[in-house]
Amino acid sequence: MDLSQYLEIFIDETKEHLQNLNDQVLILEAEPENIDTVNEIFRAAHSLKGMAGTMGFKRMQRLTHDMENVFSEIRNGKLNVNADMVDIVFKCLDAIEGYLNNIIETSDEGTEDNEELITLLNDALNGVSEEPKQEKPKQEQPQTPVAGSEDRKKYKQIAIADFEKNAMLEAKEKGMHVYATTVYIQESCLLKAARAFLVFKSVESNGEIIKSVPSVQDIEDERFEFDFSMFIISEKTLEEVKKCIENVSEIEEAVIEEYEIPNEAIDSTAKSEEKEETATEAKTEKNDDSKKKTVSKGSKPVVNRSVRVDIEKLDDLMNLVSELIIAKNGLVSVGGVNSGQGQVFNEQIEYLERVTTNLHESVMKVRMVPIESVVNRFPRMIRDLSKKLNKEMELIMTGEDTELDRTVIDEIGDPLMHMLRNAADHGLESTIDRLKIGKPKVGTIRLDAYQDGNNVTIEVSDDGAGVDVEKIKRKAVEKGQISPEQAEYMTDKEAVDLLFMPAFSTAEKISDISGRGVGLDVVKNKIEGLGGDVEVQTKLGEGTTFIVRLPLTLAIIQALMVKVKSEMYAIPLNSIVTLEEILPEDIKYVHTKEVINLRGQVIPLVRLDEILDIEACEEEEEEDNDSIVVVIVKKGDKQAGLVIDKLLGQQEIVIKPLGKYIRVPKMISGATILGNGEVALIIDSNTLV
């Protein structure tokens, strides 16, 4: 059978399960007694095994099978979770990821058997008492031979999981009936999923469905032949239940009988019930809950409402929207010229403007992905780092649901990882040192993401030692990156920014975690390449915070159009704080640099005409000189005032690259096409602050 068409789904789902497993095992490590987590892990491992088996990945199947066994024992209370076991399980997850990566690259799982891990898993299993081993074959015996004796009673072939047995036992104790049934739908039936759904609904009004084969989801999706089986708990009599099923039209027959719960199962559960009654109770309740959930899900036939779309198609769509906005801007400017055209034209233009803006927003939203998909691998990474570095630390994440453009998401993972590693390796002190200076033993690393206007901010912070400014200066002087005199006059802020210089590492010893000199300058370049910026705040002894700001979207932004001498420029709106009109005498000088005092804050002035090298060409008619327009822009909490000549208004602009070959200065982040077809450059005010 050709399974290649399912490969993609397999890869996606395996990734999801692996992520889930990583998360759950982390929880388990913290709370070894958490039975919900164990169940969750067991289920995920079980699904992984099944999927690997279906796809014919034997080695992966074997490994997951053994892992599942271990968790099955833990779940039955026969095995306790300890640190060694968690380590083994994490190694297994890495090994499975290894298989997966092989599969992604070559469609084959590779030849690594991971014998060592399997042995470790089995050793863990053998720590278990002999009791469960004898029990297992017994449980299977009563089920297999019955098969085939009564063809129509297909439910006899269904294996019942322990928790299901428990639920049945509980029901029996409460004096309810447990029925097993196989429902046959007429083969002429066209909407068998709908019929099955009606059966479920009708049974639910009379009792509770413990288990159905195939699963409710599969039945909803019509992935079954003309029969399905259920186990039902009900207070009603056999006849009543049978009738309520057969009352649904196009149902051929419901083969039903009181279900006899296999004896061994009763024994073993009874035993375990004696041992830890409370735990079992909790477990059963939980299982009942989860069953209820699945069933109630069945009560409204939800169709899967999401579609997988190739990112390239979205890019195309975005490009088309860009073109449309340029065309719209063209129309707007034509309207401006022939304003005699009347109101109707203007109304239509406004309407068009609204539609294109909404269209742009919708397309943008489609491209947005929560950063969760990037950051969810970090808790595991920090755990491993903690072991490796022998430092106790925890990672606290907030705002994982913050959304960013897909292209940004794809690029942001590595820089964030770098910063986290830095925080773990360089930021946090060793556990002993922390205790010495009276800090909490466990170091805290935080990753906080939130939306801030048209930007998304991600902060990576630690409560470690902070950056030693003097040490950085010394290092920089040693490396000849700055002169001793420069170091003397450098502000702390400037010194901290030295961290972003290429090949700068203050780590005394170079470890394989960070400090290979390819750290922060790469991070900075990457983030700036995405149109964002990064900043460090640090306090010696208290910790360091890296603040990354990223644009919400890359392609289309709101901008303020300004005129400087005879040239037109666009300044992105998201960096603008206010617009001010000042008088020439308001300008003061600090170190021969022009500044203004704006409501108590001293803000340096940037003469755009000088910085952009604009020639004072034809004498502009307005030599009035009495007021100067200043655009106040911000970067973090720093501000600067850009001196311009004229405001032209706000406009939605499409950012375009300037093409190859031409060298573009740092303060220009791109170009845009105006309504009249001309090109205006976009000023990256971040570089001017």
Partner 1 sequence: MDSNAVMTDTKQYIILRFDAEQYGIDITYIDNIVRLQPITRVPHTQPYFLGVINLRGEIIPVMSLRRKFELEDKENTPASRILIIKTEGNKIGILVDEVREVVTLTEEDTEKLGSDTNDMKAYIMAVGKYNDTLISILNIGGLIADIDNEY
CB burial of residue 95 (10 Å; 0-12, 13-18, 19+): buried
The dihedral sign for the CA sequence 115, 116, 117, 120: positive
Cα separation, 222 vs 216, whole angstroms? 10
- Per the residue annotation, which of 17, 29, 40, 46 is the catalytic one? 46
Q: Does 662 bind partner 1 (CB under 8 A)?
A: yes
Q: Does 680 bind partner 1 (CB under 8 A)?
A: yes
- Contacting residue, 45, 681, 682, 689, with partner 1 by CB under 8 A: 681
Q: Does 323 bind partner 1 (CB under 8 A)?
A: yes
76 is catalytic: no
Q: Does 187 bind partner 1 (CB under 8 A)?
A: no
Half-sphere exposure of 566 (CA within 13 A, CB side): 8
Q: Give the distance, in angstroms, between the CA of residue 614 and the centroid of all CA atoms in the same chain.
A: 46
Nearer to partner 1, 277 or 678 (CB): 678
Closest separation between CB of residue 611 and partner 1, Å?
8
User: Which one of 52-60, 341-349, 628-636, 663-671 is the stretch in contact with partner 1 (CB under 8 A)?
Assistant: 663-671
Closest separation between CB of residue 313 and partner 1, Å?
19
- Per the residue annotation, which of 422, 426, 574, 686 is the catalytic one? 422
Cα separation, 236 vs 230, whole angstroms? 16
Q: Are 603 and 595 in contact (CB under 8 A)?
A: yes
- Contacting residue, 556, 643, 673, 682, with partner 1 by CB under 8 A: 673
Cα separation, 336 vs 350, whole angstroms? 12
Q: Does 658 bind partner 1 (CB under 8 A)?
A: yes
User: Which one of 251-259, 379-387, 415-423, 678-686 is the stretch in contact with partner 1 (CB under 8 A)?
Assistant: 678-686
- Contacting residue, 118, 178, 326, 371, with partner 1 by CB under 8 A: 326
Residue 564 structure tokens: 């400087």
112 is catalytic: no
Supply the DSSP symbol for 656.
Answer: B
Residue 134 structure tokens: 């004898």
Q: Are 379 and 26 in contact (CB under 8 A)?
A: yes
For 230-247, give the secondary structure using H, E and C.
EEEEECCCHHHHHHHHHC
Closest separation between CB of residue 219 and partner 1, Å?
51
Q: Does 660 bind partner 1 (CB under 8 A)?
A: yes
Q: Does 620 bind partner 1 (CB under 8 A)?
A: no
Q: Does 173 bind partner 1 (CB under 8 A)?
A: no
User: Which one of 76-84, 259-267, 546-554, 664-672 is the stretch in contact with partner 1 (CB under 8 A)?
Assistant: 664-672
Site for partner 1 in 533-592 (CB under 8 A): 567
Residue 181's nearest CA partner among 243, 242, 103, 261 is 242
Residue 586 structure tokens: 């308001």
Q: Does 316 bind partner 1 (CB under 8 A)?
A: no
Cα separation, 513 vs 389, whole angstroms? 9
- Per the residue annotation, which of 68, 109, 204, 273 is the catalytic one? 68
422 is catalytic: yes
Q: Are 681 and 587 in contact (CB under 8 A)?
A: no
Q: Using alpha carbons, list the distances in angstroms from residue 112 to 45, 48, 101, 105, 566.
A: 19, 18, 12, 15, 68
Residue 527 structure tokens: 């983030």
User: Which one of 11-19, 35-43, 333-341, 666-674 is the stretch in contact with partner 1 (CB under 8 A)?
Assistant: 666-674
Residue 546's nearest CA partner among 554, 537, 555 is 537
Q: Does 145 bind partner 1 (CB under 8 A)?
A: no
Nearer to partner 1, 183 or 683 (CB): 683
What is the size of the binding site for partner 1 (CB under 8 A)?
A: 25
Nearer to partner 1, 238 or 334 (CB): 334
Q: Does 663 bind partner 1 (CB under 8 A)?
A: yes
- Determine how β-strand 443-452 pairs with β-strand 455-462: antiparallel
**DSSP element (H, E) containing 572:** strand 567-572
Closest separation between CB of residue 654 and partner 1, Å?
9
Closest separation between CB of residue 653 and partner 1, Å?
12
- Contacting residue, 656, 675, 686, 688, with partner 1 by CB under 8 A: 656
Q: Are 484 and 477 in contact (CB under 8 A)?
A: yes
Q: Does 125 bind partner 1 (CB under 8 A)?
A: no
The amino acid that residue 450 corresponds to is Y
Residue 183 structure tokens: 């429902």
Site for partner 1 in 28-67 (CB under 8 A): none
Cα separation, 534 vs 546, whole angstroms? 7
Q: Does 105 bind partner 1 (CB under 8 A)?
A: no
Q: Does 664 bind partner 1 (CB under 8 A)?
A: yes
Q: Does 334 bind partner 1 (CB under 8 A)?
A: no
Cα separation, 318 vs 341, whole angstroms? 32
Q: Does 665 bind partner 1 (CB under 8 A)?
A: yes
- Contacting residue, 176, 331, 352, 612, with partner 1 by CB under 8 A: 612
Looking at the annotation, which residues are catalytic? 46, 68, 422
Interface residues with partner 1 (CB under 8 A) are 323, 326, 567, 611-614, 656-665, 668, 671, 673, 677-681
